[in-house]
Structure 1
Amino acid sequence: MLKIQRIAARQSLQTVRMASSLADYAQYKTLNVTQPVEYVVHVEMNRPDKLNALNTEMWKDLGVCFQQLHEDAECRSVVLSGAGRLFSSGIDLSDLMAVGSVAMGDGDVSRKAFKLHRTIKNYQDWFTDIEKCRKPVIAAVHGACVGGGVDMVTAADVRLCSQDAFFQVKEVDIGLAADEGTLQRLPKVIGSRSLVNELCLTARRLGSQKALQCGLVSRVLSDRQVLLAAAISLAATIAQKSPVAVQSTKQNLIFSRDHTVQDGLDHMVAWNAAMLQSEDIMKAATASMDRKAPPADFAKL
């Protein structure tokens, strides 16, 4: 009886901690942030009536939210999705018109350029916060993923999609070059530079099966419900592992992507000179040797 009471007390305390952690995310008007299982946070873009079009408020909410997740010890992996009929229709055209009015308005060219520079840089940084977040981010894409949506998911670590999903680098159709990360990250995600160039120069749609074939996504699921279940299950698997190992792996994968092999190896030597001293190694090794033992319980990071 005492053991049952202790288990119940631990579960009650965990529920309180989860509720307290989630209360910190209630500030975001354009996002719905939940915790479907322990240490997994689900960030859902929540403008379904606007097809999750990216306005400035949502863009900023995403950046600040992922900065917060970066530091949140109750989070070890993240699922990013969109509410309603589709993932995201891209930039909100009303916001695009507001930016365009600065360019077309009267005034000194240099001063307008400085103002636009700040705006574009803010948008870029808010998406880069997804990539910089120490916790692995799994993008779950259903329906359309257009324009800014593609910029966003290329900053994620893993991409899954539903059968009805398609991806479209739409910017050339509205008279501009994609400036929030697609032209920089997509060539490193897809193996074919020719295909990247074609998609970006023509704005044609890339369907789910083609996205799987070229490596933009790693799995195609039947529908949104199955997609979210698969994304949360994957995030839960990651969250069960050592946060030291997972977060170190993410950071070094990104470092090695942007550096030579030797630079990556040298960086790994310096990194693991510290991380090999982690208590998590002994816990993981012990759990691996005894298959009947419960999974290792790793301390928060």
Structure 2
Amino acid sequence: MAAGLRRALCPSWIPVSQSRLMTSSVMSAMTSELRSLRLLQEHPRVLHVQLHRPSKRNALDLHCWRELVQVFQEVSQDPECRAVVVSGAGSAFTAGIDLGELGSLLAALPAQDAARRAWALRRHILEFQESFSVMERCPKPVIAAVHGPCIGAGVDLISACDIRLCSQDASFQVKEVDMGLAADVGTLQRLPKIVGSQSLVNELAFTARVMRAPEALSCGLVSRVLPDKPALLEAALEVAAAIAARSPVAVQGTKVNLLHSRDRPVSEGLQHMATWNMAMLQTEDIPKSVQAALDKKGPEDVPFAKL
């Protein structure tokens, strides 16, 4: 990467509450209260969300599950933000769900009959699912930058992201069967749509074996493998900056329609696309983009309005 672009992407890390991104009082207050996430900004239109429990290998505690929902609900509405990078602090992306807190949650279920305990447990599962579904629904593209182990709920998390990059030392494990349960917050639903082999997904889910970075690349779980964590974060931020330079009307419309079409017939996806673009083709971003191309300029030179 050119030195100038590297400086643009990777200045010293600053809390979002001190940056131009997410300047509302509500977001600033929320940022100061986060306990398991850290919000960073290395580019004016890119938010970097870092899982930040390095002493616990970023195990997902109850604070983290709730804070992911808070952050991505705000990101979805923030016109300043155009792309998000998710990474992990320390030596691991995440060790998965915090087993101690999971045990406490199960122990705290109501001491009533099975139906009432099941109803309470279902509510908790749906809340956990929302922590990752909110990332998938966020109209801003989300890039997972995975280094070291990505275990259990970590695979659920990255499966809800739009782009996945990893470092050479990354490993992936659908760990739940080793814990006596079936994965219940997204892996079994999303991973088969990402990986090109149902047989491979079944093997990983049934055996909990570890998948290393080269295999993750070959099967399509990740789109790139970088030599180490610094190179990984640099690449993830470079991709995010490239996305942020494009028309937000075009980028967010692309994500919405990719997700809509993923689980529907081609004919229905085309109908939805036609309805979407009968409004969005009227954007001023199109003549701006065309003129920039004619003038031999890149999208980063076009002053696209906020969305």
The answer (yes or no) to whether the contact 2:292–2:302 under 8 Å persists in 1 is yes
Structure-2 change in CA distance of 1:19 and 1:194 (3 Å): closer
Q: Deviations over 1:185-206 (max 9, x none)?
A: 0000001000000000000000
Matches within 5 A, 1:162-181: 162-181=167-186
The answer (yes or no) to whether the contact 2:83–2:140 under 8 Å persists in 1 is yes
Number of residue-to-residue matches in the alignment: 286
| In the alignment, structure 1 residue 265 sits paired with structure 2 residue 270 | yes
1:280 corresponds to which letter in structure 2? Answer: D
Match of 1:232 in 2: 237
Match of 1:8 in 2: none
| In the alignment, structure 1 residue 138 sits paired with structure 2 residue 143 | yes
Match of 1:189 in 2: 194
1:251 corresponds to which letter in structure 2? Answer: V
Aligned partner of residue 17 in structure 1, secondary structure: coil
**Aligned counterpart in structure 2 of residue 198 of structure 1, from 200, 203, 217:** 203
Deviation at 1:68? Answer: 0.7
Q: How far, CA to CA, are the matches of 1:154 and 1:99 in structure 2?
A: 25
Deviation at 1:98? Answer: 1.8
The answer (yes or no) to whether the contact 2:20–2:44 under 8 Å persists in 1 is no
Deviation at 1:269? Answer: 0.4
**Aligned counterpart in structure 2 of residue 217 of structure 1, from 219, 222, 228:** 222
Structure-2 change in CA distance of 1:252 and 1:99 (3 Å): same
Q: Deviations over 1:20-44 (max 9, x none)?
A: 3673533321111011112011000
| In the alignment, structure 1 residue 66 sits paired with structure 2 residue 72 | yes
**Aligned counterpart in structure 1 of residue 20 of structure 2, from 17, 20, 25:** 17
Q: How far, CA to CA, are the matches of 1:244 and 1:28 in structure 2?
A: 30
Q: How far, CA to CA, are the matches of 1:29 and 1:113 in structure 2?
A: 30
Deviation at 1:216? Answer: 0.0
Aligned partner of residue 74 in structure 1, secondary structure: coil
Aligned partner of residue 233 in structure 1, secondary structure: helix
The RMSD of aligned alpha carbons is: 1.6
The answer (yes or no) to whether the contact 2:167–2:232 under 8 Å persists in 1 is yes
Compare CA radii of gyration and give the structure with the larger one.
1
Over the matched positions of the two proteins, sequence identity in percent amounts to: 53
Q: How far, CA to CA, are the matches of 1:198 and 1:55 in structure 2?
A: 28
Q: How far, CA to CA, are the matches of 1:18 and 1:127 in structure 2?
A: 22
| In the alignment, structure 1 residue 90 sits paired with structure 2 residue 96 | yes
The answer (yes or no) to whether the contact 1:139–1:160 under 8 Å persists in 2 is yes
TM-score (norm 2): 0.90
Q: How far, CA to CA, are the matches of 2:185 and 2:19 in structure 1?
A: 38
Deviation at 1:18? Answer: 3.6
Structure 1: gaps (5+ residues): 1-14
Aligned partner of residue 116 in structure 1, secondary structure: helix
Deviation at 1:56? Answer: 1.1
Which 4+ stretches in 1 moved above 4 angstroms?
none
1:168 corresponds to which letter in structure 2? Answer: Q
TM-score (norm 1): 0.92
